[in-house]
Structure 1
Amino acid sequence: MAGKSKTKGEESTELNAGLTFVAIIFLIRGLYLLVDFFGSISWGRSPEVFEVLLFGGINIIPASFYFLVAVGIIYRRPFALYLGYVIVLLDVLANVVYVFTQPMFISGLVVGILMIYLLHINEHNFRKFDKTDSMLFVGIVLLIFLYLVALVWAYHLPDAEERAAIVTKEAIEKGDVGVCEKLNFDKNNCIKSIAISTKNLSMCDEISNTHIKEQCYRSFAVSLRREDLCEKITDIYKKDSCYLGLAKCEKNMTYCEEIQANHTEEFCINYVNEPLLPKEC
């Protein structure tokens, strides 16, 4: 019958502006976590397992909650209403605990309160709780369980620095530069450590990262008293450091004349006259 009006409590078929705004915010938060995940992984190489677990557990699973709520709001499923309340409250709490800059704190708090308000005034727009929502809640509980498992697993894995130290120690003990391949991103530092440990200057040339390679040259230049190695360094500050090291270890002030950018000649002379530190030369 045309023109029939809706009675109070009847389900709305419209997605109003308030709910649309809330859904968009949830989508943006989910996308942000995904972008943060892909930005945290070095995809120019094969990512380490611990990286995927750590950043995946912290980013991807929570991102799925945001997307789930956004889709649920669009279809006005009641699970999205209650889960949305929980997530926004957790976000507001995290904002209070972790955000220390006043503008971000205030904006995060305002947006959180606004989202809770918009959800509250639009509760009548959501459908009645049914079997679909029950199944989704079971899925959500399972997802939360997987999230906690991923976090616990990632927590017990060594971080990048610890893993680099473990693999580098193994490589030095075996004298095998191939062990450094396990690190991928930290491979160059591992090769440098083996080169210095085994006193193998030629290994410096195997380092692909210029910054680390020149650190390797600097170390050998000082330990072997090789001025020619300082000349191979292109970074002017590292080159100055190289000549400073030679001047101090050889007690030879003439190297101070080679210093260009970092220190004055007077500083170099004073530096040379300082007592040697352990393993400095």
Structure 2
Amino acid sequence: MLFLSGGLIVLAILLSGCTQQSSQADVEKCNDLPEIESKMQCKYELFSKQELSFCDSLSAENDKYYCYSSIAMAKKDKELCNLLDNENWVNTYQNSCIAGVAEATKDSQLCIEITDEIPRDMCYLAVATAKKDAKICDLIVKSDIKGKCVENTA
């Protein structure tokens, strides 16, 4: 599971082989789940199997950007994160998207592109945990996040 910062989410990266067409009604089924982690996992599994055109059809803007991020993580394609262009969401979702791709690819160099300190630290934490590489923890600025990183990689 991923743990991303800034009110961002816990998600799994494992995909199922299902490729059925999805709809706004499927998104609403995810929204009806009681826990935030369950909602986000449901949406990730739904979105990660779609084409970008599906994301554009979503009515809620936050779902649209989470959809783009999910596809980028599933395809391990950071360039898709650059398609997040709304000024109100770009930093939050772009940071989350880059961190998700960094963890999926186990590439801590991608974290450098995250301009905000805490999301960048959380990116390093996610990659270090995925790789079980404590050296990456040295790149973390915030001491509490660094401590969690060292703990996760021990």
TM-score by length of 2: 0.60
- Using CA pairs under 8 Å that are at least 6 residues apart, name the structure with larger relative contact order, 1 or 2: 2
Q: Choose the corresponding residue for 2:114, options 223, 228, 233.
A: 233
Q: Choose the corresponding residue for 2:77, options 200, 218, 222.
A: 200
Query: After superposition, where does 1:32-111 map in structure 2 within 5 Å?
Result: none
Residue number in structure 2 paired with 1:249: 130
Measured after TM superposition, the shift of residue 207 of structure 1 is: 1.4
Measured after TM superposition, the shift of residue 233 of structure 1 is: 0.7
Measured after TM superposition, the shift of residue 161 of structure 1 is: 3.1
Residue number in structure 1 paired with 2:52: 177
Identity of aligned residues (%): 23
- Aligned amino acid, residue 104 of structure 2: S
Residue number in structure 2 paired with 1:272: 153
Measured after TM superposition, the shift of residue 232 of structure 1 is: 0.6
Measured after TM superposition, the shift of residue 271 of structure 1 is: 2.1
- Pairwise CA RMSD of aligned residues? 2.8
Report the CA distance shift for 1:246/1:160 in structure 2 as closer, same or farther (over 3 A).
closer
1:263 alignment partner, SS class: helix
Report the CA distance shift for 1:198/1:254 in structure 2 as closer, same or farther (over 3 A).
closer
CA distance in 2, matches of 1:249, 1:257: 15
Measured after TM superposition, the shift of residue 159 of structure 1 is: 8.0
Report the CA distance shift for 1:212/1:249 in structure 2 as closer, same or farther (over 3 A).
same
- Aligned amino acid, residue 83 of structure 2: E
Deviations 1:212-263 (A, max 9, x none): 1111111111221212210011121111111112222222222121111252
Q: Choose the corresponding residue for 2:105, options 212, 215, 224.
A: 224
Report the CA distance shift for 1:177/1:232 in structure 2 as closer, same or farther (over 3 A).
same
- Aligned amino acid, residue 188 of structure 1: Y
Residue number in structure 2 paired with 1:161: 31
Residue number in structure 1 paired with 2:5: none
- Aligned amino acid, residue 194 of structure 1: I
Report the CA distance shift for 1:212/1:230 in structure 2 as closer, same or farther (over 3 A).
same
Report the CA distance shift for 1:178/1:251 in structure 2 as closer, same or farther (over 3 A).
same
- Aligned amino acid, residue 260 of structure 1: V
Deviations 1:125-179 (A, max 9, x none): xxxxxxxxxxxxxxxxxxxxxxxxxxxxxxxxx48936x968x83x644x42012
TM-score by length of 1: 0.35
CA distance in 1, matches of 2:74, 2:148: 31
What are structure 1's unaligned runs of at least 5 residues? 1-157, 274-281
Report the CA distance shift for 1:198/1:225 in structure 2 as closer, same or farther (over 3 A).
closer
CA radius of gyration, larger in = 1
Structure (1 or 2) with the greater helix fraction: 1
Q: Is the 8 A contact 2:72 2:101 kept in 1?
A: no
Residue number in structure 1 paired with 2:9: none
- Aligned amino acid, residue 94 of structure 2: K
